[in-house]
Amino acid sequence: MDGLSRRDSLKLLSAGMAGLSLTAITGGNVDAQDKSSAPAFRGQHKPKPLGFDPSKLKGLSEKLIQSHWENNYGGAVRALNTLEQRLDTMMKEKDLPPFIYGPIKREELVRTGSVVLHEHYFDNLGGDGKAAGAVLGAINQWFGGYEQWASEFSRTVHTGELHNYWAWDHMHNAPTGLPLLVLDMYEHAFHMDYGAAAAKYVEAFMQNVKWEEVNRRYVAANKIHESLSK
């Protein structure tokens, strides 16, 4: 990323990490929602529809994508809603010990990360897999070429700076970070089509990357960096 140092990137990734975060996950209209609970605890998030025809992906079956979207992503949305509503109830118990409240907050982070990463994952599918735009120039600059980047990406899973990072348990940088390209490497994302042959799944994924979306994220991330640098 032009002019973006590792320290600057960490600044971007850590903003709000231990405090208040603005998390981009799908939800309904706050004004139209139930007013009995604060917006943070209403638990009314809704799954984001797929932006592509799952029957037209290369090497990834419609059955796999639909199951992933409905059961894993949809399950994360439903779990997040349940957790928010449970937190609302627990907040009304004035004498509730923090050690009881804390584990539910951890689960809230896990499910939030799952929702965020799944939405990024599905949004960067449905393309022709051909890298282009400003993000390709950045990849060439940081990795010495697309092939070198793709080779290293196949060994990891999550990109945040212009590096490839591994995000374990949905909890690392996803809710507050700036992922550019997300690849789901949990078995639910590929086992139905490829069994244990995860490498073949990665190859199929790369053929379906929607680089227009990746480039849009890169340009947006650069604008955030520029605004923070002023």
Domain layout of the chain by residue ranges? 59-229
CATH 3.55.40.20 holds for 59-229: yes
Q: Range with the lowest mean pLDDT among 10-19, 31-40, 75-84?
A: 10-19
Q: What was the pLDDT predicted at 45? A: 95
Res. 38 pLDDT band, cuts 50 70 90: confident
What average pLDDT is seen over the chain? 81
CA angle 173, 175, 179 (to 5 degrees): 60
Task: Decide if pLDDT at 83 tops 90.
Answer: yes
Residue pair 47/26 in contact (Cβ under 8 Å)? The answer is yes
What Å distances lie between residue 88 and 45, 85, 95, 142, 210, CA to CA? 15, 5, 14, 45, 38
The pLDDT confidence band at residue 124, using thresholds 50, 70 and 90, is very high
pLDDT at 145: 95
Q: Which two tokens stand for residue 204?
A: 């199929």
| pLDDT per residue as tens digits for the range 184-220 | 988 999 999 999 999 999 999 999 999 999 999 999 9
Task: Choose the weakest-confidence range: 24-38, 49-63, 64-78, 110-124.
Answer: 24-38
Q: What is the pTM of this model?
A: 0.78
Least confident of 8-22, 91-105, 128-142: 8-22
- The Cα 63–Cα 166 span in angstroms is 27
